[in-house]
Amino acid sequence: MESENQTEKSHAIDIDIDSKNNNGNSNAGKLAVIGFVTMTILSVAVLFLFKNATLPTISPLPIIDSIGGEFELPSSLDRPIKLSDFKGKVVMINFGYTSCPDICPMVLTRIAKVTKALKERRGFDTTKLQTLFITTDPERDDAEHLLQYLSHFHPDFIGLTGTTDAIKQVAKQYGVYYKKESPPHLLNSPMSDDPSPQNTDTYEVAHTDKIFLLDKLGRLRKLYSEEDSIDDLFNDIRGLVAERHKSLEH
């Protein structure tokens, strides 16, 4: 009898242990399910907030509405283009000419460095940036000439030309000054009396050399001069690319 009682106790202990193990496994399973559901809810919430939130820019910039605006000009792409063709992209615009001896190459080199640095940055959307170079010397700078010239700086740069009146109109929109001048080595020649030489190809063009930065809606946000840091331009472009606009969302 004593042996039978010990056997029954042993079975009872085994059953109790199994019951505790089953309860432990059941509780662990419940915790795992609760954890999974919680993580799923949090993930959905985060995605919802991310989708509907307006991402802050790295360097918030005001909208400059006193100058700028739409235009359409013949381009080095062998077709006319409009500013609005680049809606959804951050655009850099520079005015200059291919015969410029110093300023234009310097500015275009700065833009090229920023463009290259951005495109090498991991995660940067290279389709969201475009540079436009508008000539201030349309008599000499045709589309083919612009294409060849800009290829020395960056293959993605687009050159724009047009009639004298068309270029004047766009320059006026953007507050750009430009004027034909005699080069320094001809200042003592008979040509120096003509402030706007027309009968020679030896003239230079004095012009505004700023970089115009436009957001993805084609609005002017900042102008950069030679004194401005290239790092500021780099960070401001990143900020504008990160901006979200409801009108661009599909």
DSSP annotation of 159: E
Q: What CATH code is assigned to 72-244?
A: 3.40.30.10
Q: Are 213 and 235 in contact (CB under 8 A)?
A: no
User: pLDDT per residue over 153-191, tens digit each?
Assistant: 999 999 999 999 999 999 999 999 999 998 765 555 444
What are the domain boundaries of the chain? 1-53, 72-244
Q: What is the pLDDT at residue 246?
A: 74
Residue 157 CA to residue 116 CA, distance in Å, equals 12
Whether residue 4 is predicted with pLDDT greater than 60 in this model: the reply is no
- Average pLDDT for the chain: 80
Predicted TM-score (pTM) above 0.85:
no
Q: Report the sign of the C-alpha dihedral through residues 32, 34, 36, 39, in that order.
A: negative
Whether residue 15 is predicted with pLDDT greater than 50 in this model: the reply is no
User: pLDDT per residue over 60-103, tens digit each?
Assistant: 899 999 999 999 999 999 999 999 999 999 999 999 999 999 99
